[in-house]
Structure 1
């Protein structure tokens, strides 16, 4: 049994889908008998929760005092990482860093072009701490090959990196008997954010969806579950797709998954197809839903997910594939690093 300081700033369901990865991993570590000290945004009270600096100082103080064998930290955010790594270096503790999103790469590219490029000062500071992270860490996890390779320019090597795919936390057997022919009207479903990943990308994706269905003579409907209606509606109206769209308010994750399982094809986008896979992508696969192909042919994302992409045809995804991408199965293949 190991005593593990487990830092997951975003850990609760209210924090969105990004928190699922941390919760599933913590469950698997507990099943292995490890003693976890789980540190979240709520760990140091309301005042610290409302101040990045105060929370960072509190986590540094906590890690300097507590007894633990090694530390695990999942990022983002990244603003606390310098305090966490400093505590580990001072105390000579082993640490594992889980990178759900790249740090300096996103700053350089403006998060897929959705924001301005960060200043050189901010980028250099991020690169400095990435080098420290790489030099002294025991293991670094990245969620895609592209994300792993994006660090080579900064740290010079990726030997410490392991690709640990995001995966899904869906009970595949619960949806094992889902038919590929479920609806009289071809139904697409989008879970969560859409336009936030790029207005022009969103418009191109929806135009393509409209056009391929018109060419095939299909009636269709898109269900946006928990998607920002205010941002999305102008694009829908501009494309004349109002009668083909239904907005459904945000709901608890399991309810959203149940609703999505009744659709035929999943819909989503990436900010950067060279370094991202997306969470909802694996949710669709877990449900047995193929994914609407609005991606750039030849991108790393397109190459990886090509067997599961479609336009208007329903595609059966084997149960074996759906189980392979379960978070719990993915973690079982790498969890031994906590016991080294």
Structure 2
């Protein structure tokens, strides 16, 4: 729904102009992720390299003066899928998964906002996945933050997701094994030493919790994973098919400290929304290779963090909620005073296009 969210919010943008010639940037309301569906699953599978050609024809014929002004350098669009899904090499036969939208030379100048960007193309930038939390007013946001702050964290760590059931060594398999084989997870009646486990909120009734979200069973049921996240101190964010996860932002909304296992899962992605130089203040990093191949136990790492530091990290996570959520369109004036994920993304786009325009002018 990211493309729809941006389009609806853009209609409310205070500096929107009907004159493209007066615009610093031009938003293209093209639903790339939705349009990709018939190339990925439908009868146009064999022509997936053609996604975007009709769009380019429209942009260059409907308003050629807008496109020709900077040859697309001032245009941007939103892609509600990882960039990898639009990066199939042109001419692949038979075609691989995805389309070739981002490989078309016609769009090399256009800025693309995606939920996961690749490391090298300068025109791509990652923005947060939408969560299920879209407050319409400031009081609802503040009451939710207070709920997350007061929530009793009775579980040390939790993982919401699928995978990890095969025989091959993966970080998800290691997480499942550590949770399922931990004898203390079955009986923690004698766990009362708060300092030992670093929660800062009382003794744990469970050291590890796994919420199985296989086969899409969590997609339309956020309560299934949000309630356990509200009860957990740390939320594990292992990579899956791609490095990033929506769960990262769900956990921040729940005040659950994210634990990453790859730099590309968040640190190298969301620089506008998650300050790269402050990652240690609100998250934990454990290299997946250490867990999978060097027998590093995630529980041991997390239990070694002093409870005072855990409290500070959680407070930092709670402070970040407004930055990574997409507030509801038509929200109250009070809430609009706080910059959300959309506001920060548009600021980033404008700065990116401005800096590129200076180079273009030269």
TM-score by length of 2: 0.51
1:222 aligned onto 2:202: no
Which structure's CA Rg is the greater one? 2
Residue 289 of structure 1: how far off its partner (Å): 0.7
CA contact (8 A) 1:82 1:129 kept: no
2:284 to 301, 305, 309: 309
Return closer, same or farther for 1:182/1:334 CA change in 2, 3 Å cut-off. closer
2:238 to 269, 275, 283: 269
Which residue in the other structure is 1:62 paired with? none
Which residue in the other structure is 1:76 paired with? 33
Equivalences for residues 8-157 of structure 1 within 5 A: 19=1, 21-32=2-13, 71-76=28-33, 78=36, 79=39, 80-91=51-62, 92=64, 95-99=75-79, 100-103=81-84, 107=88, 119=92, 122=95, 130-135=103-108, 137=110, 139-144=111-116, 147-151=117-121
Q: Which runs of 5+ in 1 are unaligned?
A: 1-18, 37-68, 109-117, 152-157, 230-248
Which residue in the other structure is 1:194 paired with? 162
Which residue in the other structure is 1:242 paired with? none
Separation in 2, partners of 1:29, 1:197: 42
Which residue in the other structure is 1:51 paired with? none
* 1:256-314 deviations in Å (ceiling 9; x for gaps): 465244330334432366xx422111111121112345x24xx3227556642374448
SS in 2 for 1:176: helix
Residue 332 of structure 1: how far off its partner (Å): 0.8
Separation in 2, partners of 1:213, 1:258: 25
Separation in 2, partners of 1:301, 1:184: 26
Q: Which runs of 5+ in 2 are unaligned?
A: 19-25, 40-50, 68-74, 136-140, 189-205, 269-278, 286-297, 328-339, 355-362
* 1:150-204 deviations in Å (ceiling 9; x for gaps): 43xxxxxx2x4444343646355313343577254546251xx422998743322
Which residue in the other structure is 1:237 paired with? none
